[in-house]
């Protein structure tokens, strides 16, 4: 069995699975139950001046019968007294010395940062996470994403935290920016030991069309919230990969956003995350999802022949590049497995209305449509809509053209194959 021990910016945990700062990491009893279930670390629900929350405060996107594919909240930071939180953190650390406890913090003035960091360190916590990401409520008070969107302020507060902290400092970044790079670099310049990303995405989850008010409704009004859950994974993966592949960025990443199972976690690790944090899926399904995550990761590592989880961190970075470096001569076409095809014709409709009009009814077999390979551009749409797993595959065509990217074509005159599907 592979070694799952994780070191993320100097914070050591028995495995890479951490609870994200959120309701599942709100109290000592919860975090201890999570550790008993198998979680390797927990980022405590953000501490600062305790706030008053609204009711209601959560919403969800349901799509195609799948409940809560995306999740949204207008909750703020902790609403529990600071001394209660600190006493519970100290107790968790005393009882679970090998697990990672990271204290998430959000305050305003330099003095407040100094005071809260000292109190956090006194608990015996393993690290701090600076919450520069919350996109609702706290940003209106000049904190959260208001800091995360301003590289100068991010760098300055990070440097205060580093000055006052004797334990590792992670900076949690907001995705509510055009480009994540300046923000990751600001944290790095401030001395951060690592970054965590992403926090939630500014959003309105839905509108109550009978009461004429967005959701979640607080009496007769609502406000924008933060989007998270499975639906945000692609955005989070992109930001994680952007930072990880940047040659000037060289501090560890804790990946967050839409992780629902071990595969999602592996994807984040392959794109550069040393640890992975989970919030929404735990809120929806409970702490025990970590059992499958640990088992799945172990099996994956064994099957691929890796001795430790850390070996896969960043493995997919060389495979992530600019569009201009992709091989324009690489060619695939769709092939239908006539045995497993159920003749639903979803691929025909999709290709005709949304792609290149090259899957047609088959005069010889009413059930299985045929692909006109000379016209197929290998876009994948038919495979995406086909309800039968592995029924449609995209198969490489040996077209005789040497690999050539757009950049090579522009700079070196590399020869491109004739275009398909532009009739």
Residues annotated as catalytic (active site), given as ranges: 134
Told to check if 222 binds ligand FMN by CB under 6 A, we report no
Identify the residue among 334, 404, 408, 414 touching ligand SF4 (CB under 6 A). Answer: 334
Contact 37, 288 (CB under 8 A): yes
The smaller minimum CB distance to ligand FMN, of residues 34 and 348, is found at 34
Identify the residue among 172, 183, 185, 356 touching ligand FMN (CB under 6 A). Answer: 172
The smaller minimum CB distance to ligand FMN, of residues 131 and 329, is found at 131
Burial of 195 (0-12, 13-18, 19+ CB in 10 A): buried
Told to check if 341 binds ligand SF4 by CB under 6 A, we report yes
Residue 259's binding partner among ligand FMN, ligand SF4, none (Cβ under 5 to 8 angstroms by kind) is ligand FMN
76's tokens: 């703020």
Give the three-state DSSP class for 348: helix
The smaller minimum CB distance to ligand FMN, of residues 2 and 68, is found at 68
The smaller minimum CB distance to ligand FMN, of residues 173 and 351, is found at 173
- CA 368 to chain centroid, in Å, comes to 39
What torsion, rounded to 10 degrees, do the Cα atoms 83, 89, 95, 99 define? -170
The pairs formed by 260-264 with CB atoms below 8 angstroms and a separation of 24 or more are: 260/230, 260/233, 260/289, 261/289, 261/292, 261/293, 261/296, 262/292, 262/293, 262/294, 262/295, 262/296, 262/297, 262/300, 263/296, 264/233
Told to check if 269 binds ligand FMN by CB under 6 A, we report no
Told to check if 45 binds ligand FMN by CB under 6 A, we report yes
d(CA 40, CA 116): 24
Cβ atoms within 10 Å, residue 352: 14
Which phi and psi (to 5°) does residue 168 adopt? -60, 145
Identify the residue among 27, 199, 242, 405 touching ligand FMN (CB under 6 A). Answer: 199
Told to check if 258 binds ligand FMN by CB under 6 A, we report yes
Instruction: Return residues touching ligand FMN (CB under 6 A).
Output: 20-23, 45-46, 71, 73, 75, 77, 104, 131, 133-134, 172, 199-200, 228-229, 232, 256-259, 278-281
**What are the residues binding ligand SF4 (CB under 6 A)?**
334, 336, 341-347, 350-351, 355-356, 358-359, 369, 371, 376-382, 386, 388, 391-392
């Amino acid at each position: 069995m592979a070694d799952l021990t994780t070191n993320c910016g100097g914070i050591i945990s028995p495995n890479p699975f951490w609870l994200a700062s959120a309701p599942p990491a709100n109290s000592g009893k919860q975090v201890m139950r999570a550790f008993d279930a198998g979680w390797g670390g927990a980022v405590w629900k953000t501490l600062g001046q305790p706030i008053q929350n609204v009711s209601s405060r959560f919403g969800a996107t349901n799509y195609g019968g799948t409940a809560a594919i995306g999740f949204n909240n207008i909750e703020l930071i902790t609403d529990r007294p600071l001394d209660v939180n600190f006493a519970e953190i100290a107790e968790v650390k005393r009882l679970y010395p090998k697990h990672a406890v990271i204290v998430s913090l959000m305050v305003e003035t330099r003095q407040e940062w100094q005071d809260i960091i000292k109190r956090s360190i006194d608990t015996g916590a393993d690290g701090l996470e600076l919450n520069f990401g919350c996109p609702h409520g706290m940003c209106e008070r000049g904190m959260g994403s208001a800091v995360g969107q301003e590289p100068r302020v991010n760098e300055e507060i990070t440097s205060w935290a580093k000055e006052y902290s004797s334990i590792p400092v992670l900076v949690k970044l907001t995705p509510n920016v055009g480009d994540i790079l300046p923000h990751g670099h600001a944290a790095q310049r401030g001395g951060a030991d690592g970054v965590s990303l992403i926090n939630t995405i500014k959003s309105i989850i839905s509108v109550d069309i009978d009461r004429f008010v967005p959701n979640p409704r607080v009496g007769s009004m609502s406000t924008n919230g933060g989007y998270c859950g499975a639906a945000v994974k692609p955005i989070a993966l992109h930001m994680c990969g952007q930072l990880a592949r940047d040659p000037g960025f060289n501090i560890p990443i804790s990946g967050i956003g839409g992780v629902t199972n071990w595969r999602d976690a592996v994807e984040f690790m392959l794109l550069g995350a040393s640890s992975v944090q989970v919030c929404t899926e735990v809120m929806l399904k409970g702490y025990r999802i970590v059992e499958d995550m640990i088992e799945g990761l172990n099996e994956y590592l064994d099957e691929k022949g890796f001795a430790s989880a850390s070996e896969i961190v960043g493995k997919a970075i060389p495979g992530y590049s600019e569009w201009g470096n992709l091989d324009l001569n690489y060619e695939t076409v769709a092939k239908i497995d006539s045995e497993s095809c159920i003749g639903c014709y979803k691929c025909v409709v999709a290709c005709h209305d949304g792609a290149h009009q090259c899957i047609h009814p088959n005069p010889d077999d009413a059930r299985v449509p045929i692909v006109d390979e000379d016209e197929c551009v290998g876009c994948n749409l038919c495979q995406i809509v086909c309800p039968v797993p592995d029924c449609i595959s995209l198969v490489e065509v040996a077209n005789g053209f040497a690999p050539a990217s757009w950049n090579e074509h522009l700079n070196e005159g590399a020869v491109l194959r004739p275009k398909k599907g532009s009739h």
